[in-house]
């Protein structure tokens, strides 16, 4: 897929993200949308000024115009990040000496704690909940089990191929963001279930390398997975958010609450920095406070 825009200065940068940084189509599209919006604003407000002459004041006027549209701090920060990456690339290419983003300050936003499902609710999901009949229900149950057992992202699970699973070693290789590979362990029980699932795939799936397929033998679609995950989670939790990512949060939170090492959780999740994983320590601290309140005589 080629990313071409009406703003010539963007095309080389988007190609860099695609072919050198190996970003996903979704991520490049987000960059492209943010940058097109910015340069459309410059073209309208400053009569198509060259990107090399744009100042920090102009960037801040663009951000101020979006604040009037009541965009969230998180959205504004993403747009600022897109511009910072674009100008950093221009400096690396020798097109600029200094970035106008040096004087642009990102708004502070409060960190939202990740939503997760309680351990006993997850037990109820697998023990007492009835899944749909036939191959459809079998696939849906296996997908939810793998989400919770590995912390995989939705895109990682959908794109997972049979040859990424090594049942003898009880591991699964995952291609994460930036095509970074990580290896996730499988429990003996889940490895056995996956072996049975693969052996029972419908005839229509012959030639399809994807691990999970629907009753027509085709790869699962993100919207379909999101829909059935939301349906089953609604049976066991009242959380407002009921998505595959909540299962990823639950995986990480339950590991931390049961004493897992923070660096180990970071590697399992495929985070590039420890800061992204540290959000899960909050729930661990809350659990320690609860234990302290119940057990300490002076609590």
- Looking at residue 50, which CATH number applies to its domain? 1.10.150.130
Query: Among 25-39, 67-81, 114-128, whose mean pLDDT is lowest?
Result: 67-81
Residue range 236-265: average pLDDT? 93
User: What pLDDT is recorded for position 174?
Assistant: 95
Judge whether 90 lies within some domain: yes
Q: In this structure, are 125 and 239 located in the same domain? A: yes
* pLDDT tens, position by position, 281-291: 877 776 667 77
- Catalytically annotated residue among 78, 177, 182, 287: 177
Angle between helices 188-199 and 134-150 in degrees, nearest 10:
150
Higher-pLDDT residue of 92 and 67 is 92
Residue 172: CB partners within 8 Å, gap ≥ 6? 150, 160, 164, 165, 166, 183, 184, 186
User: What pLDDT is recorded for position 156?
Assistant: 96
Judge whether 298 lies within some domain: no
Q: In this structure, are 68 and 197 located in the same domain? A: no
User: What pLDDT is recorded for position 96?
Assistant: 94
Judge whether 89 lies within some domain: yes
Q: In this structure, are 75 and 131 located in the same domain? A: no
User: What pLDDT is recorded for position 276?
Assistant: 86
**What is the Cα–Cα distance from 261 to 276, expressed in whole angstroms?**
14
Judge whether 110 lies within some domain: no
Is 197 tagged catalytic?
no
- Catalytically annotated residue among 153, 201, 249, 254: 153
Q: In this structure, are 162 and 74 located in the same domain? A: no
How many beta carbons lie within 10 A of that of residue 36, not counting itself?
14
Residue range 39-55: average pLDDT? 90
Q: In this structure, are 156 and 253 located in the same domain? A: yes
Q: In this structure, are 167 and 282 located in the same domain? A: yes
Is 26 tagged catalytic?
no
Higher-pLDDT residue of 130 and 72 is 130
* pLDDT tens, position by position, 112-139: 678 899 999 999 999 888 898 999 999 9
Average pLDDT across the chain, whole number: 91
**Range with top average pLDDT, 49-53, 129-133, 167-171:** 167-171
Angle between helices 134-150 and 119-127 in degrees, nearest 10:
160
Q: In this structure, are 189 and 227 located in the same domain? A: yes
Question: Is residue 16 a contact partner of residue 86, using CB atoms and an 8 Å limit?
Answer: no
Q: In this structure, are 249 and 171 located in the same domain? A: yes
CATH number of the domain residue 248 falls in = 1.10.443.10
**What is the Cα–Cα distance from 46 to 226, expressed in whole angstroms?**
43
Is 78 tagged catalytic?
no
- Catalytically annotated residue among 88, 271, 282, 287: 271
Q: Is 166 helix (H, G, I), strand (E, B) or coil?
A: strand
B/e letters for 176-193, b = 16+ CB within 10 Å, e = fewer, are: beeeeebebebeeebbeb
Q: Which of 15, 32, 16 is nearest to 92 (CA)?
A: 16
Is 210 tagged catalytic?
no
Q: In this structure, are 131 and 54 located in the same domain? A: no
- Catalytically annotated residue among 182, 245, 282, 287: 245
* pLDDT tens, position by position, 175-188: 988 788 999 999 99
**What is the domain count for the chain?**
2
Q: In this structure, are 235 and 90 located in the same domain? A: no
Is 266 tagged catalytic?
no
Looking at 44, 74, 103, which one is the last position of a domain?
103
Residue range 11-17: average pLDDT? 94
Higher-pLDDT residue of 68 and 42 is 42
Is 153 tagged catalytic?
yes
Intra-chain end-to-end CA distance of the chain, in Å: 60
Domain that holds residue 216: 119-293
User: What pLDDT is recorded for position 66?
Assistant: 84
Looking at 76, 103, 130, which one is the last position of a domain?
103
pLDDT of 280 higher than 90: no
Q: In this structure, are 201 and 140 located in the same domain? A: yes
Residue range 92-110: average pLDDT? 89
Q: In this structure, are 178 and 240 located in the same domain? A: yes
- Catalytically annotated residue among 141, 201, 248, 254: 248
């Amino acid at each position: 897929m080629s990313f071409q825009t009406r703003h010539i200065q963007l095309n080389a940068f988007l190609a860099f993200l695609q072919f050198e940084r190996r970003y996903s189509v979704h991520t490049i599209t987000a960059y492209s949308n943010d940058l097109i919006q910015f340069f459309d604003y410059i073209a309208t407000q400053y009569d198509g000024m060259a990107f090399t002459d744009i100042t920090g004041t102009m960037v801040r006027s663009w951000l101020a115009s979006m604040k009037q549209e009541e965009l969230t701090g998180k959205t504004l920060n993403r747009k600022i990040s897109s511009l910072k990456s674009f100008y950093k690339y221009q400096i690396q290419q020798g097109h600029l000496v200094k970035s106008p983003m040096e004087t642009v300050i990102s708004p502070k936003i409060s960190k939202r704690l990740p939503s997760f499902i309680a351990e006993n609710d997850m037990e109820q999901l697998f023990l007492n909940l009835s899944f749909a009949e036939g191959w459809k229900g079998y696939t849906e149950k296996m997908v939810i089990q793998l989400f919770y057992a590995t912390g995989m992202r939705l895109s990682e699970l959908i794109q997972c191929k049979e040859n990424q699973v090594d049942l003898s070693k009880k591991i699964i290789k995952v291609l994460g963001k930036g095509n970074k590979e990580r290896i996730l362990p499988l429990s003996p029980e889940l490895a056995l279930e996956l072996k049975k699932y693969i052996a029972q795939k419908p005839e229509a799936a012959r030639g399809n390398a994807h691990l999970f397929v629907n009753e027509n033998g085709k790869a699962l679609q993100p919207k379909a997975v999101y829909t059935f995950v939301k349906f089953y989670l609604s049976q066991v939790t009242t959380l407002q958010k009921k998505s595959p990512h909540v299962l990823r949060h639950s995986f990480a939170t339950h590991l931390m609450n049961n004493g897992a090492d923070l660096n180990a959780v970071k590697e399992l999740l495929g985070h590039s920095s420890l800061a992204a994983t540290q959000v899960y320590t909050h729930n661990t601290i809350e659990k320690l406070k609860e234990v302290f309140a119940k057990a300490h005589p002076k609590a």
